[in-house]
Structure 1
Amino acid sequence: MPAIDSFQPQVSVIIVSADSGASLRDCVNSVLACTTPLELLLIDNASSDGVPQAIARAHENDARLKMIYNRGNLGFGPAVNRAAAQTRGQVLLILNPDCLLQQSALQRLLDVLAKEPKAGLVGAVVCDAQGVPDPASYRRDPVMQRALASLFKRGGEGVNVTGEMPDHLVEAEAVSGAVMLMPRRVFEWLNGFDEKYFLHCEDLDLCRRVRDGGWRVLLAGDVRIWHGKGGSSRHRPVFVSYHKHRGMWRWFRKFDPAARKPHLAAVVWLGIWAHFVVKIPGQLRRSMAR
């Protein structure tokens, strides 16, 4: 590899790890196998599994990999922001640590960003090991009526766009935060992720602010990326669930017109935290069964 001082990446890939497990190795290897000129910033939120350090040793001669170690768990958005401040590419790819990236997928996302007018953020369809798309790849803003429809599985327009997943480029209100490609200038103009989210809903927030800023959020439906189950979510389900519900409340307060009505806001607050409490016993049982 060329010396780091003379190497100019086209894209800067950012991965946040937090006890992400063995899948992190596969993710990093898949990124470094791509032929697009890139740099990879792996920022670790105080993992105790030793995997980030092992990755650093395995790739110590690869100038494309930069390791950043945090002394504590900063959360997802704050970690991305700190890594982004050290990037040199004009395009950022935010990638979950349990995703596998292929060169063809990366190139397609870059082509969309380059060719589509006012493209501010491009997502992909994330799939499980059987190739089944995650419905969260193609989403709407989680305003109260949609969130209720999704939560209680009742009729009406929910947060996830139902029906067959698109296999072509479409405009979206929000895409999955597992794979997000965007111009660095847009990310910086938005001041990155809102750091008052710790984990979950910060991607919905970012998509909304991209659109509010006059750019387009796009889903490249013909790009399919394998996405596993996060190690942090499996090991600490109640912790993750708490921050997910906390993120829901913050998004509601920032963007939902219903939040301007105190009585509705109170009902939503009670509903969110009641839902969190109800989920705890099942999460603990599943965690203990593993």
Structure 2
Amino acid sequence: MKFSILIVNWNSKDYVRECLKSIRDTWNRGGLQIVVVDGGSFDGCDQMLAAEFPEVDFVQSPHNVGFGRSNNLGLGSVTGDRVLLLNPDTVLKPGALEELTGAFDKLPAAGLVGARLLNTDGSLQMSCVMPFPSPWGAATDCDQLRRRWWRTKGPVAGSAPVEVEAVSGACMLMETGLLRKLGGFDPRYFMYSEDLDLCRRVSDEGLKVYHVPCAEIIHHGGGSSKTRFSRFSVVMTREAQRVYMQTHHGAAGALSYRFLMASSALARIAAMSGAWLLGGRGRRETSRVALWKWWAILRWSIG
């Protein structure tokens, strides 16, 4: 069976090179098509591919239309029976593709499967498996609660494939026909939460989403707690979650999410203000960054 890998690039040419090298080094069975879409970054990715990976099919988007729409654009060039949606900042560990494709063949009613994602340092990336968000859960989300969810309900490291609610869009394998039937990613999501929405729609088809822990992939960009959030990413995350609530929980759910998000922001601003006033130099800098983030969220919530 032929399958395809679809990668969306946006100013990530060097990551794309590393990703493609890992695919070349870990897959030697043939029958593989790779499609790379450049989302309007024009960073020289096309030239790099022509020189180093001439077998790759390249699609140029004239504008940055977002992660989901760029994947939908590349889907038109996919020829495989199955398609692996893969982030450019990933590196496949040996056997990852075989484990994913093999699991898909064996798992009952499989609609979509995802891999175990690791941070650059080899630690677990908790976002590789997610529950479907509710207005309350999304508004109160934090690292501590996420770790608690993993301890109580998350898949166990090294276990067999397990059914989950959602997996990260950094690595998703599914039937090409199903993805086309669903219309690809919902174009209303520019970035963030489109993976949750797709998993939800797969489940609505009566199919199952699985996490395959023995398929390990390094995802450089997804797990750093040191990341400094831009206002754009902070606001886009919340707006994407609002679209998800509107779609799957109705107008009341979207309104509840905004209200709860504003309440959460006010509480955290109060807490961080105290930490900023009473903390030392390092604590004050951490609190300053957190204050800036939650002020941006508050402005979005009441805007």
TM-score bin (small chain): 0.7 to 0.9
1:104 partnered with 2:99:
no
2:161 equivalent to 1:190 = no
CA distance in 2, matches of 1:152, 1:101: 26
Residue 79 (structure 1) aligned to one of 70, 85, 110:
70
Cα deviation, residue 21, structure 1: 4.3
CA 117–71 in structure 1, closer or farther in 2 if over 3 Å, else same: same
| Matches of 1:39 and 1:47, distance apart in 2 | 23
Deviations 1:244-278 (A, max 9, x none): 22111111111136x43686255146458879x99
Whether 1:250 aligns to 2:243 is yes
The aligned counterpart of 2:208 is 216
Equivalent positions of 1:11-30 (< 5 A) are 11-30=3-22
Contact 2:110 2:207 in 1 (8 A): yes
Aligned to 1:218, the other structure's residue is in SS state strand
Q: Does 1:49 align with 2:43?
A: yes
Residue from 283, 289, 296 that aligns with 1:282: 289
What 5-or-longer segments of structure 2 have no aligned partner? 273-285, 294-303
Pick closer, same or farther for the CA change 1:262–1:94 going to 2, 3 Å: closer
Q: Which amino acid aligns with 1:211?
A: S
1:228 aligns with: 220
Counterpart Cα distance in 2 of 1:284 and 1:235? 12
Q: Give me the whole-angstrom Cα distance separating, in 1, the residues matched to 2:254 and 2:184.
A: 30
- Aligned match of 1:126: 117
- d(CA) in 2 for partners of 1:144 and 1:178? 24
Distance 2:291 2:51 in 1: 35
- Whichever structure has more helix as a proportion of its residues is 2
C-alpha deviations, 1:87-119, integer Å up to 9, x for none? Answer: 110000000001112451111111111111210
Q: Is 1:143 aligned with 2:134?
A: yes
Distance in 1, matches of 2:183 and 2:290, equals 35
Q: Report sequence identity in percent.
A: 28
Asked if the contact 1:169/1:218 (under 8 Å) is kept, the reply is yes
CA distance in 1, matches of 2:22, 2:147: 40
What is the aligned-residue RMSD (CA, Å)?
A: 3.4
Q: What is the distance in 2 between the residues matched to 1:21 and 1:196?
A: 26
* Structure exhibiting the larger radius of gyration computed from Cα positions: 2
Please, what TM-score do these two structures have when normalized by structure 1?
A: 0.81
Unaligned runs of 5+ in 1: 1-8
Compute the displacement of 1:133 (Å). 1.1
The amino acid that maps onto 2:101 is L
Contact 1:190/1:209, CA 8 A, preserved across alignment: yes
